[in-house]
């Protein structure tokens, strides 16, 4: 039943309608619009920007993006995932791009593009997936249906491959980790602590595509909205009652909203968080809670939304954030001051 039109798409020369609050429009050509892309692991988009239009902070959970500017001047950037050293901050990489310039956005990281000129701008991008997905941070966190519990949001807003070891140097301790029975210190503003056992702590995990974490929650402690760009997570509750959830990526239909899936979990319950989506866990009880999770990567990475958007170094331009979250500058000033 395959025909030539399965490999054909027409209309990418037509400007997208940018008459919306963000002043941008993404025209996608993925497997949903072009069936011939099925199994090929590639797609393309056209992005139109009104003067000072913004493609807001978002992630593409399944694709690297290579962007090429056709018209105008764009201020673009991405933020690295949370560093292993808690004393270090997420790093922001930015660049001003003009006609003919190319910029690469790594898979799963928060990225944005902002038209800094008073004329329209146009860019085209290739993506390393037939269906990359997109998670617009502001929509996902504040615009899901039903809404994420305000207690969760109120509290929330206060990684790489290894070189294989020489086989002659491998020892049993490379496959051993001790201490996951020890509670993590939850005396922090969020009231939670994640103890990770990935390839950085357990060298024997190298190339195996799996890791584990222990999560401790103080009473009403929160593991805040975040993404894991390289891993699906299977969570098992050991003690306490958790309110957990994740938000779907932006729907193809712009008239539909991101969907929030939530559940209350008790001892013995298991919940799955798909790779790359925004997720959270909140201890709704007045006693400590504990959970363990397996992850489908030796080094899953973690992108804590509040830290990444408001606490990067250097800071994301306030004009970008004000337009992305549709709030006054003083709100952005306050949030950046918290991180």
- Residues in binding site: 223, 226, 233
Report yes or no: 77 and 95 within 8 Å, Cβ to Cβ.
yes
Q: Give the integer Cα–Cα distance in Å for 320 and 124.
A: 20
What are 145's strand-pairing partners? Answer: 259
- From residue 274, give the alpha-carbon distance in Å to each of 227, 229, 246: 9, 10, 8
Token reading at 103: 């910029």
Query: What's the Cα-to-Cα distance from 225 to each of 131, 141, 169, 189, 311, rounded to whole Å?
Result: 24, 8, 40, 14, 14
For the packed helices 329-338 and 318-325, what is the interaxial angle rounded to 10 degrees? 110
- Residue 296 CA to residue 306 CA, distance in Å, equals 24
Query: Running DSSP on this structure, what letter comes out for residue 40?
Result: T
- Among 52, 54, 58, CA closest to 22: 54
Indicate left, alpha or beta for 215 from its phi (over 0: left) and psi (-120 to 50: alpha).
Answer: beta
Cα Dmax for the chain: 63
Residue ranges of the annotated binding site for Mn(2+) are 226, 233
**What is the spatial distance between Cα 24 and Cα 113, in angstroms, rounded to a whole number?**
10
What is the CA angle 44-82-285, rounded to 5?
110
Q: Tell me the torsion sign for CA atoms 14, 57, 327, 332.
A: negative
Q: HSE on the CB side for 143, CA within 13 Å? A: 17
Q: Where are the alpha helices (DSSP H) in 95-181?
A: 137-142, 150-156
Q: Which residues are annotated as a binding site for oxalate?
A: 223, 233
Nearest to 247 by CA among 149, 135, 127, 113: 135
């Amino acid at each position: 039943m395959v025909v030539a039109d399965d490999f054909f798409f027409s209309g990418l020369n037509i400007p997208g309608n940018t008459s919306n609050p963000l002043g941008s429009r993404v025209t996608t050509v993925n497997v949903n619009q072009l069936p011939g892309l099925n199994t090929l692991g590639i797609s393309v988009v056209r992005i139109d920007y009104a003067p000072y239009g913004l493609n807001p902070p978002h992630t593409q959970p399944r694709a690297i993006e290579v962007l090429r500017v056709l018209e105008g001047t764009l201020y673009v950037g991405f933020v690295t995932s949370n560093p292993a050293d808690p004393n270090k901050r997420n790093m922001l990489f930015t660049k001003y791009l003009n006609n003919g310039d190319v910029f690469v956005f790594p898979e799963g990281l928060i990225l944005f593009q902002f038209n800094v000129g008073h004329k329209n701008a146009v860019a085209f991008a290739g993506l390393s997936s037939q269906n990359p997905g997109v998670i617009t941070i502001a929509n996902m966190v504040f615009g899901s249906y039903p809404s994420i519990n305000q207690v969760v949001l109120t509290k929330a807003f206060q990684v790489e491959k290894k070189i294989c070891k020489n086989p002659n140097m491998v020892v049993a301790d490379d496959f051993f980790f001790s201490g996951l029975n020890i509670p993590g210190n939850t005396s922090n503003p969020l009231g939670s602590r994640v103890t990770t056992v990935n390839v950085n702590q357990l060298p024997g995990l190298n190339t195996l595509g799996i890791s584990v974490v222990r999560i401790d929650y103080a009473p009403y402690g929160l593991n805040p909205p975040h993404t894991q760009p390289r891993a699906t997570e299977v969570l098992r509750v050991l003690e306490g009652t958790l309110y957990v959830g994740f938000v779907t990526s932006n729907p193809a239909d712009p008239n539909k909203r991101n969907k929030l899936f939530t559940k209350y979990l008790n001892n013995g319950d298991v919940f799955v968080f798909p790779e790359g989506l925004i997720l959270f866990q909140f201890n709704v009880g007045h006693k400590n809670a504990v959970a363990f999770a397996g992850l489908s990567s030796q080094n899953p990475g973690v992108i804590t939304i509040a830290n990444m958007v408001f606490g990067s170094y250097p800071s994301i331009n306030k004009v970008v954030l004000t337009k992305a979250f549709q709030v006054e500058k003083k709100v952005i000033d306050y949030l950046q001051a918290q991180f």
